[in-house]
Amino acid sequence: MLEAAKRRVREVLFAFPAMLSRLGLVDRKKGTEAFDLAVPVMVTGAMRTLLRTADFLMVSLAIGDTAVAALELGFQYYFIPFGLSLALTSGTISVVSRFKGSDDHGRADLAIKQSLWLSLAISLPITAAAWLYAEPLIGLLNDDPRTVELGAVYLRIVMLSLAFRFWSLVAARALAGASDTRTPMYVRLVTLPTNIALNAVLVFGVGPFPEWGVAGAAWGTAVANAAAALIFFALLVSGRFSVRLRLGGRQWDADIVREIVRVSAPLAGTRLSRTFGRFPFLFVLGALGTPVLAAYAIGRRVMLLALMPAWGYSTASSTLVGQSIGAGNADEADEYGWQTLRIALATQLLIAGVIFAFARPIARAFGTEHVTLTVEFIRMFGVGVAAFSVSRTMRGGLRGAGDTRWPLYGTVAGTYLFKLPIAAVALPAGAVTLSVAGVTVDPGLGFGLVAVYAAILADMYVRAAVNTLRFWSGAWRRVAREAGVGATGAD
């Protein structure tokens, strides 16, 4: 009966790419392959986003808007190493997929070990720094003592699980590079609901447990991250999957490490430039008032649910493009990139429309005192969904080819040439002054939320344009050939 139910669910799900094919929007074979790889990542990503959304919901109900603002500030610092882990594992999926495409399975396994050593070298020092300097870091972004206190509590605790989070992403991306996106989904189907349950118990103090509020949300996440890492470790050392973590034997391969770092470094720059660009943006929101910062935090969390398909299709594009390049077929890689983009847009716009339509009841569910403001942020993010889908999916295709510099350029342009300058005019006149070549400049013009919305959308659409033009140019073919890792079907 269970198998019959699974078959039925699969038939219903895969009616979607079939329908798009009948409408002439996608190639059925390639669209189905992309959809098959993307769905487990979508489910995992949606659950992860639901978890973060649940954190904000619980903390909002338990403590209020001040705690929501604190959580947003603490999470932004957590997102710095989280972004680094995503960049590192982007190198992992790129290298593993190309080795698998060229049937070099031993080096694909060795690439996982190199990623593990790199992840430990990055994560452990960051954990120590966050523990020591949590309060000053949060204090840079907000001068409300209670917000700083709560944000520092969250940051210290959640960073204790950083090494575990790094390894989980390495394992999940390595499996994805070998066309296995279901196993990471199954792991998350166990650990993420556990995370939500732990958070609920520890935030509200259910039963014999104390009411820890923000600290409870952090401890729930830390424990779940550790559990996921241990499960992934057991799976990959078991030898039962398409890739394997071999504990013995060779521990270091400089060539593989260089290729992982070569692919990852621009993506790390992409992540860091976006993350560091958020801090002055959050300062602008804070200057406009705690209600604005809280509404932004809630709206962004809600809209991330609509953006989850792009994560799945980005991973699918990386895998399919990388494996095609590894097999020596760049033309097929190109076709996979465009077909994945088509089905990504069709999927994501449907979901965005639903969340856009139900923005008001969703905002009310958070118990915020500023419902209308939160609805505005939700709907504004909805307008940017198409741009995010294009940007993320095209970046996935470039990543599969090992061409990761141009997404960095797009991010720098979107953040520093558009988002922050436009956001600056949201400030009231006199709120902040800058000294440029000895001349005092006051960027504040008092445009308020209109400038904030324009800044966010401009950033999204600039990144989409840069990534799309780069993939369309075909220059990634040359990058893949020069990388040499399976670029022509050879080692």
- Burial (0-12, 13-18, 19+ Cβ within 10 Å), 24: exposed
User: Mean pLDDT over residues 116-143, rounded?
Assistant: 89
Q: Domain of 430?
A: 23-483
Give every CB contact of residue 258 below 8 A, 6+ residues apart in sequence.
none
Of 43 and 325, the one with more pLDDT = 325
> What is the Cα–Cα distance from 477 to 398, expressed in whole angstroms?
9
8 belongs to a structural domain: no
pLDDT computed for residue 391 by the predictor: 93
The span from the CA of 122 to the CA of 118, in Å, is 6
Q: What is the mean pLDDT of residues 374-383?
A: 88
Quickly tell me which residue has 């919901």 as its tokens: 57
List the alpha helices (DSSP H) in 63-161.
65-101, 105-139, 145-159
Phi and psi at residue 440, to the nearest 5°? -80, 125
Q: Provide the number of structural domains found in the chain.
A: 1
Q: Is residue 18 part of a domain?
A: no
> Is residue 268 domain-resident?
yes
Q: Is residue 44 part of a domain?
A: yes
Q: What distance in Å separates the CA atoms of residue 91 and residue 371, rounded to the nearest whole number? A: 41
Residue 4 within a domain: no
Range ranked top by mean pLDDT from 141-145, 189-193, 312-316: 312-316
The full DSSP string for 431-461 is: S--EEETTEEE------THHHHHHHHHHHHH
pLDDT value at 443 more than 70: no
pLDDT of residue 465 exceeding 90, the answer is: yes
With CA atoms as reference, report the closest residue to 486 among 252, 325, 351, 331: 325
Please determine, for residue 425, whether its predicted confidence score (pLDDT) is greater than 80.
yes
Contact 123, 81 (CB under 8 A): yes
Q: What's the pLDDT band for 226 if we cut at 50, 70, 90? A: very high
Q: At what angle do helices 254-287 and 405-412 cross, to 10 degrees?
A: 10
d(C-alpha 358, C-alpha 306), whole Å = 12
The pLDDT score that the predictor gives to residue 487 is 41
Structure tokens at 354: 């639903």
Domain-located, residue 222: yes
319 pLDDT above the threshold of 50: yes
Residue-wise pLDDT tens digits, 470-488: 999 989 888 888 765 444 3
Residue 442, pLDDT > 90, answer no
pLDDT of residue 441: 45
Predicted confidence at residue 2, as pLDDT, reads: 52
- Residue 273's pLDDT band, with cuts at 50, 70 and 90, is confident
**Strand ranges for 350-472 from DSSP E:** 434-436, 439-441
55, 203, 68, 56: which is closest to 146 by C-alpha? 68
Distances (CA, A) of 484 to 202, 470, 477: 50, 20, 11
> Could you give the CA distance from residue 349 to residue 337 in angstroms, rounded to a whole number?
19
Q: Hey, what amino acid is at 318?
A: S
For the ranges 43-52, 64-73, 278-287, 352-361, the lowest mean pLDDT is seen at 43-52
Asked if residue 81 belongs to a domain, the reply is yes
Closest by Cα among 348, 268, 365, 272 to 310: 348
Task: Tell whether 13 is covered by a domain.
Answer: no
pLDDT score, position 126: 93
